[in-house]
């Protein structure tokens, strides 16, 4: 996976080929510094943290930031790309190793919940309708929905569930339940999600 952490440009969202065969080493270094800074700040201040703070922490100029990540979504996608891809790959793996397809689905959904709930503000950003978040939104759905679909189909074929829910719908619901569960009001997203899963059966 040679392009991991590379800047994400819209038309490359579903591509896995490197966008440029050569790249100046300082550019590559700056990109990494930005990703590291963003990852750290997303944790402490959420994904809506001012871009200037990210550039500052990365020790690069604003222009550099914009050159590599034209929109905030590009940066968010790049920061979480690894983990999303790990989630994508976990789908078939879980299906293979779990006792039943529905158990695999459950495990996979909890994986996703754990991912979202540890990223302050990410679940909300995923559902934002602000144009600058479109790329984020698209990327997540494009990668994860097919996996979820596969798991749902398997569960249905095994007669473990009869709900006709769509994968997109389920992912959306799970994402929603993960919003704002890091705040003072301690809501346990897993509990709510488990209700949803129980309801699927």
Partner DNA sequence: AATGAATGAGCTTTCATTCAT
Partner DNA sequence: AATGAATGAAAGCTCATTCAT
> Which residues contribute to the site for DNA (CB under 7 A)?
24-27, 29-30, 48, 50-53, 55, 59-64, 66-68, 71-72, 132
Phi, psi of 160 (to 5 degrees): -90, -10
Closest approach of a copy of itself to the CB of residue 118, in Å = 17
Site for a copy of itself (CB under 8 A): which residue of 127, 142, 153, 158?
Answer: 127
98 binds, among a copy of itself, DNA, none (CB under 5 to 8 A by kind): none
Closest approach of DNA to the CB of residue 169, in Å = 30
Q: Which residue number, 6 or 104, has a Cβ lying nearer to DNA?
A: 6
Give the position of tokens 């790990």.
86
- Helix (H), strand (E) counts: the chain: 9, 0
Which positions from 152 to 191 touch a copy of itself by CB under 8 A, shown as an x/- string? -----------x-x--xx--xx--xx-xx--xxx-xx--x
Give the position of tokens 């790249």.
23
Long-range contacts of the stretch 127-130 (C-beta < 8 A, 24+): 127/172, 127/175, 127/176, 127/179
Closest approach of a copy of itself to the CB of residue 81, in Å = 22
86 binds, among a copy of itself, DNA, none (CB under 5 to 8 A by kind): none
185 binds, among a copy of itself, DNA, none (CB under 5 to 8 A by kind): a copy of itself
Give the containing element (helix H, strand E) for 55.
helix 51-58
Contacting residues for 106 by C-beta, under 8 A, at least 6 apart: 197
CB atoms within 10 A of CB 87: 20
Closest approach of a copy of itself to the CB of residue 182, in Å = 9
Q: Which of 26, 24, 25, 28 is nearest to 6 (CA)?
A: 28
Question: Which residues in this chain contact a copy of itself in the complex, by CB under 8 A?
Answer: 124, 127-129, 163, 165, 168-169, 172-173, 176-177, 179-180, 183-185, 187-188, 191-192, 194-200
């Amino acid at each position: 996976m040679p392009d991991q952490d590379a800047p994400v440009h819209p038309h490359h969202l579903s591509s896995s080929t490197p966008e440029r065969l050569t790249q100046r080493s300082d550019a590559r270094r700056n990109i990494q510094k930005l990703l590291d800074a963003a990852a750290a700040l997303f944790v402490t201040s959420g994904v809506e943290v001012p871009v200037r703070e990210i550039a500052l922490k990365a020790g690069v100029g604003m222009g550099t930031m914009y050159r590599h990540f034209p929109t905030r979504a590009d940066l968010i996608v790049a920061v979480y790309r690894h983990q999303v891809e790990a989630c994508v790959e976990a789908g078939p793996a879980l299906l293979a190793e779990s006792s039943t397809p529905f158990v695999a689905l459950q495990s996979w959904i909890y994986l996703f919940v754990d991912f979202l709930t540890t990223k302050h503000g990410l679940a909300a950003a995923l559902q934002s309708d602000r144009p600058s978040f479109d790329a984020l939104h698209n990327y997540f759905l494009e990668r994860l929905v097919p996996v979820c679909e596969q798991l749902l189909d398997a569960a249905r074929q095994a007669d473990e569930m009869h709900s006709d829910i769509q994968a997109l719908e389920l992912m959306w619901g799970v994402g929603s339940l993960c919003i704002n569960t890091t705040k003072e009001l301690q809501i346990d997203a897993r509990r709510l999600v488990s209700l949803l899963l129980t309801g699927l059966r």
